[in-house]
Chain A
Amino acid sequence: MGWIGETIDSIKSIQIRQLLTQAISLGMIVTSALIIWKTLMCVTGSESPVVVVLSGSMEPGFKRGDILFLHMSKDPIRAGEIVVFNVDGRDIPIVHRVIKVHERENTGDVDVLTKGDNNYGDDRLLYAEGQQWLHRHHIMGRAVGFLPYVGWVTIIMTEKPIIKYILIGALGLLVITSKD
């Protein structure tokens, strides 16, 4: 109970200048996080340089909750690479391995077929209606590195949004009540 009293007192004793300073520091933190994210996008050449694995289709290599670092280069797509791609009409990207490549000579156009390591069949069932192959513009990046378990934070916050709100509320309270 004393702690709640202290919190209310400290909220009452806030001065405008102090509040503004803290708001600006918070803004600086958020902005630098954004700068880091955008820089990562530039350096890796991919729209989402870090993705969280959501399904078990690449087990035991990648489990649900792992995060993957992506990199996209102009190098041709070859069999065995683990690629992240978007299917038209679906907004969640899929991370699977390339098992077939047919590349045209002059234009560099390429037909690609993918399959999850842990799936029985290839991904034709996941592609859009009538689509047999993936093309270069579907591919968002190649997986080059990975960290286990770190992605669970994102999965929990997406699937139980209440936790996201609690976290932001707690952070906001911390910012307001801290004395420096």
Chain B
Amino acid sequence: MHSFGYRANALLTFSVTALAFICAIASFSDKFSNQNPSAEIQILNINRLKKQSYGNDEVSLTLDISADLQSLFTWNTKQVFAFVAAEYETSKNSLNQVSLWDVIIPDKEHAKFRIQTSNKYRFIDQGHNLRGREFNLTLHWHVMPKTGKMLADKIVMPGYSLPDAYK
């Protein structure tokens, strides 16, 4: 009952249980944080709206993105992954979501930012439905914790539209 093996086993079991409990509590504490992020996106310019050689429409645009995601950070946050997606509907597809730009925010200081950028990922439709198309720009964020449950949410900004003709 007092051999080294028994003591080591008891110690190991207890420490694993305690560690699991602490991780669960850390994750649970995230529920009590008060979160009110804000964001604003402007389209500075639609650079190109063209039809690719094999038929799909493609848009290139420049965005002005400003956001304040500082309230999402808790002591249990490892990073926040934020991305801007264009969401629209066509006759062929009931929902299209195309990610245009993303960023990894490692800490609270970097969470309030303003950036002007052209789209990081190509905005390509399945088909040629983009002329005159209205779309929402949505800022999504994904809070990745140091341990535990991940949290994701978004702000939808409707009312953007593409030109009626190729340019």
Contact = CB atoms under 8 A, between A and B. Distances in A.
**Do these two chains really belong together in a complex?**
yes
Given A61-B81, A99-B99, A148-B147, A80 B142 contact: yes
B148 A146 contact: yes
27 contacts: A60-B78, A61-B79, A61-B144, A62-B144, A76-B95, A80-B83, A80-B140, A80-B152, A81-B152, A99-B98, A99-B102, A100-B97, A101-B95, A102-B96, A102-B126, A103-B93, A103-B94, A103-B95, A104-B92, A105-B93, A122-B121, A144-B150, A145-B27, A145-B149, A147-B147, A147-B148, A174-B5
Contacts of B140: 79-80
Interface string A39-68: 000000000000000000000111000000
Interface of B: 5, 23, 27, 78-79, 81, 83, 85, 92-99, 102, 104, 106, 121, 126, 140, 142, 144-150, 152, 154
Interface of A: 60-62, 76, 78-82, 97, 99-105, 111, 117, 122, 143-148, 174
A115 to B, nearest CB: 8
A33 to B, nearest CB: 15
B98 A100 contact: yes
B78 A78 contact: no
User: Which of A61, A97, A143, A174 has the largest number of chain B CB atoms within 10 A?
Assistant: A61
Q: Is the interface of B mostly helix, strand, loop or mixed?
A: strand
Contact of B150 (A60, A105, A146): A146
Nearest to A105: B94
Contact of A104 (B27, B94, B102, B121): B94
Contacts of A174: 5
Contact of A101 (B83, B96, B148): B96
Contact of A111 (B99, B126, B149): B126
The 6 closest A-B pairs by CB, nearest first: A105-B94, A99-B99, A79-B97, A101-B97, A80-B140, A103-B95
A73 B166 CA distance: 40
Contacts of B85: 79-80
Contacts of A100: 97-99, 121
Contacts of B23: 147
B17 to A, nearest CB: 14
User: Which of B5, B145, B150 has the largest number of chain A CB atoms within 10 A?
Assistant: B150
Given A60-B78, A80-B83, A80-B140, A103 B96 contact: yes
Nearest to B87: A79
A93 B142 CA distance: 22
B97 A117 contact: no
A171 to B, nearest CB: 12
Nearest to B27: A145
Nearest to B78: A61
A148 B104 CA distance: 19
